[in-house]
Amino acid sequence: MTSPDPIETFRQEAQELLEQLEHTLLDLGHRPTDADLIDAAFRALHTIKGSGAMFGFERVAGFTHHVETAFDLIRKGRVRATAELIALTLAAKDQMRRLIETPAEADEAAGDAILGRLQAAIDAATVGVPAAAAVAAGPAAPAPASATAAARAVRTWRVRFRLPKNAMATGSNPLLLIDELRELGEATVIADTTKIPPLEDLDPTDCLVGWEATVTTAHPRDAIEQVFLFLLDDMELIIEAVDAQGAEEGAAAPTPASPSSSSSSNSAGQGSPATAAIAPVNWAEVGTKAAPKSSAPGPSPSPAAAAAEPAAQAQKGAATAKASGSVRVPAERLDELMDQVGELVIAHSRLKQITAQTHDPQVKSVVEEIERLARELQDTTMGVRMMPIGSLFGRFRRLVYDLSRDLGKDIELITSGEETELDKTVIERLADPLVHLIRNAADHGIEPRERRIDAGKPAAGRVMLTARHAGAAVLISVADDGRGLDRERIQARAEENGLVAPGAKVTDEELFKLIFAAGFSTAREVTNLSGRGVGMDVVKRTIEELRGSIEVRSTAGRGSEVTLRLPLTLAIIDGLLVRVGNGRYVIPLGAVEECVELTPEDDLRSTGRCFLNIRGDLVPFIRLREQFATRTPPDPYQKVIIVSAEGMHVGLVVDQVIGDHQTVIKSLSRLHAEVEMFSGATILGDGSVALILDVPQLVAHGQAQEERLKAAG
């Protein structure tokens, strides 16, 4: 088995760090004095810088070094976290992403321009002391103490630490840690070599030396703890106060434990290595490892460690990082596993069909046991593929932030249902449609501040992004409290484009669906956000490819809501196997409401599309024999499958209902790509193929056919 590529692992971890940095900065925009958020941003930058240098991303390390310096000044209280500084840091974060993902295409001049504007923002936000000199010096150089730090009493601390054996192999450099201790004040360091074995037993990759440092500094104990912030999970550390003043704070106790990152970005810090005085000191065994309380959100900075323990989950924007017991697995392996489970389901279906002809109870018992195990394996595999949709929702905070600045509007993003789980493939393909819907809500829906105030609305507009389960589907809604859809303008543009006959009376539901037509736009002018008539047709096409549907509601002056109905997964579904003529088809079970019998009276009443009386409600039905041009005579007792589609109930007339079927979805070939009534195919137990009906498309096709018949008649 090949070992993971450390460069690719770094890129994955950096992606998570950048996402967490973005969330932290967006939270900081609302709470600019929150020390936890400021520390979290600084540590994320520090980790990216250190890990980047460790793995040869020197441009990343050099660029991030300057941004880190800015947040070090904010952390020390010398610079205010202004809105402009946060916006520029977000732009710097985008540049870091480019330097990591596509370094050859990253524009160095653009990065220099960002740093220049960042320096100007720092100078404008400086509190009392000019910041330019400190930015030039960088975080490795001792920055002048703030007024608060200067007033602090000088204290002496004894710091005893021993790194994990593999510290050197994972890129940590203990001499750079000692350098950072010396930067805090006056430090005397001695080494403990008592655990170094004889030369013949020595592994040169192991770190076996311990250290004891006496540090006299005006900095608080937290500053000493942060030197070891990214090594705390596996190292031994004790910090004791030597003077009475420090002891009064209870600092003599070992540092409290709290999981953080398991490898060091300090190894890539700036400055020359310090020389420790080597003298064998047999100080007492430190005992269990200890770690300080930390507010750092974000994953371990070591890509090697990240392969075993993925990123921690940020809580409340910048809560304590918490190690996860999960493992990081490449997405393609999950896809392969799902494919193999699908083949197992097909093989079991064949076995079940074969054993139906035998009366041996032992064989049937084994088949039932295999069915149970296959079902459990399928459920487990599906569970692995399911992800909370919050991983997608988090991306749109930055989108709304940028839209708010670009449009000059106050816009808030409100999300709910982030814990709702959906197949990872569906989540990946939802990103672009949701971007288009949110852009439309911000650009066309939310009014400018003055108009909202005049209309008696809050000055800040709201875009609501919600998700919830509804049976075997997930509903995702994008709503706004803006002006609502302009019905008259939509109809006028639809008439111009020939989509609606002039003066025709069209229901709101039918009219609002026209906004998803290719090239349709009501914008009066083209901007960098909208107006070209592209985007909404992409939304419709993508959702239909996912076997989903779209519903639009709008109230003039109060806002609009677009709801996407999506299947939980695209791999294996429960279906209802039916027969029409000699062909067999699968109807997704999630769309099925009930089955009724088509009486001879109802069958003879008329041809084409007819109506059934279902408990007092008239339900239209479609004869699938006519849709599929079946030439065999119909069964004497046909069945009607009542399905839900496009917010209405429709019946599908079939010859026979065979039963439920575990359906492994296979894509249709390119030759059948234009056949819209089918969403895929599946292999039955006898090896034959059954087509999977696309219920919304089938219903739409039946409605269009009826309209043509009415027009011709």
Pick the CATH number of 1-144 from 1.10.760.10, 1.10.287.610, 1.20.120.160, 3.30.465.10: 1.20.120.160
Span 385-397, average pLDDT = 87
Query: Would you say 348 and 368 are in contact if contact means Cβ atoms under 8 Å apart?
Result: no
- Residue 387, CA atoms < 13 Å, CB-side half-sphere: 15
> In terms of pLDDT, which residue wins out, 447 or 348?
447
Rounded distance, CA 622 to CA 650, Å? 8
pLDDT at 135: 46
Q: How confident is the model at residue 350 (pLDDT cuts 50, 70, 90)?
A: confident
For residues 65 and 77, what is the distance between their CA atoms, to the nearest angstrom?
19
Numbers of helices and strands, H then E, in the chain: 23, 22
* CB-CB contact of 289 with 192 (8 Å): no
Q: Which residue type occupies 596?
A: V
CATH number of 389-567: 3.30.565.10
- Which residues contact residue 632 at a Cβ distance below 8 angstroms, ignoring those fewer than 6 apart? 581, 582
What's the burial of 429, exposed, middle or buried (CB within 10 Å: 0-12/13-18/19+)? Answer: middle
Provide the token pair at 611: 């109506």
H helical segments located in 276-389: 303-306, 331-355, 361-385
Query: Which has the closest alpha carbon to 477: 542, 363, 393?
Result: 393
Confidence of residue 159 (pLDDT cuts 50, 70, 90): very high
| DSSP-derived 3-state class of residue 658 | strand
**Integer Cα distance of 571 and 385 in angstroms:** 10
CA-based nearest residue to 668, from 695, 699, 690:
690
Strands 236-241 and 277-278: unpaired
Split at pLDDT 50, 70, 90, the class of 711 is: low
Radius of gyration, CA atoms only, the chain: 32
d(CA 170, CA 307): 12
Q: What is the mean pLDDT of the chain?
A: 77
125 phi/psi in degrees, rounded to 5: -100, 5
pLDDT of residue 319: 36
247 sits in which H/E element: helix 244-248
Rounded to whole angstroms, the Cα distance separating 522 from 16 reads 38
Give long-range contacts, CB 8 A cutoff, 24+ apart: 318-325.
Answer: 318/24, 318/27, 318/34, 318/36, 318/37, 318/39, 318/40, 319/295, 320/258, 320/293, 320/294, 320/295, 320/296, 321/259, 321/260, 321/261, 321/294, 321/296, 321/297, 322/259, 323/233, 323/259
Domain boundaries, the chain: 1-144, 152-306, 331-387, 389-567, 572-712
The mean pLDDT of 655-669, rounded to a whole number, is 82
Q: Which residues contact 625 (CB under 8 A, 6 or more apart)?
A: 580, 581, 634, 653, 655
Q: CA 486 to CA 337: how far, in whole Å?
A: 48
d(CA 586, CA 681): 8
Is 160's pLDDT higher than 90? yes
Does 352 or 266 have the greater pLDDT score?
Answer: 352
State the pLDDT at residue 620: 86
pLDDT digits (tens, 9 = 90+) for 197-231: 888 888 888 888 999 999 998 888 887 887 887 67
Q: Write the pLDDT tens digit of every residue in 41-80.
A: 988 888 888 778 777 788 888 899 889 888 888 888 888 8
pLDDT of residue 269: 36
Which pair of structure tokens corresponds to residue 549? 């549907």
Residue 214 CA to residue 295 CA, distance in Å, equals 26
Q: What is the pLDDT of residues 407-465, one digit of tens each?
A: 999 999 999 999 988 888 888 888 889 999 999 899 889 999 999 999 999 999 999 99
The partner residues of 552 in beta bridges, in order of sequence, read: 562
CATH number for the domain formed by residue range(s) 331-387: 1.10.287
Q: Per the confidence metrics, is the pTM higher than 0.75? A: no
For the 572-712 domain, the top CATH level (class) is mainly beta
- Using CA of residue 675, residue 676, residue 677, residue 683, what is the dihedral sign? positive
For residue 493, the Cα-to-chain-centroid distance in whole angstroms is 37
Helix (H) or strand (E) holding 186: strand 185-192
What per-residue confidence (pLDDT) applies to 94?
A: 93
Q: Is the four-CA dihedral 608, 613, 618, 620 of positive or negative sign?
A: negative
pLDDT in tens, 250-303: 443 344 333 333 333 333 333 333 333 333 333 333 333 333 333 333 333 443
Is the model's pLDDT at 171 over the cut of 70? no
| Residues 313-322, mean pLDDT to the nearest whole number | 36
Contacts of 552 (CB under 8 A, 6+ apart): 485, 509, 512, 513, 515, 560, 561, 562, 563
- Highest mean pLDDT among 9-13, 88-92, 218-222, 228-232 belongs to 88-92
Each residue of 571-622: pLDDT tens digit? 777 889 999 999 999 998 878 889 998 877 777 765 555 788 888 888 888 8
Considering only the C-alpha atoms of the chain, give the largest distance between any 2 of them, rounded to a whole number of Å: 104
Whether the Cβ atoms of residue 588 and residue 665 lie closer than 8 Å to each other? no
Average pLDDT over residues 182-196: 88
Helix (H) or strand (E) holding 425: helix 424-440
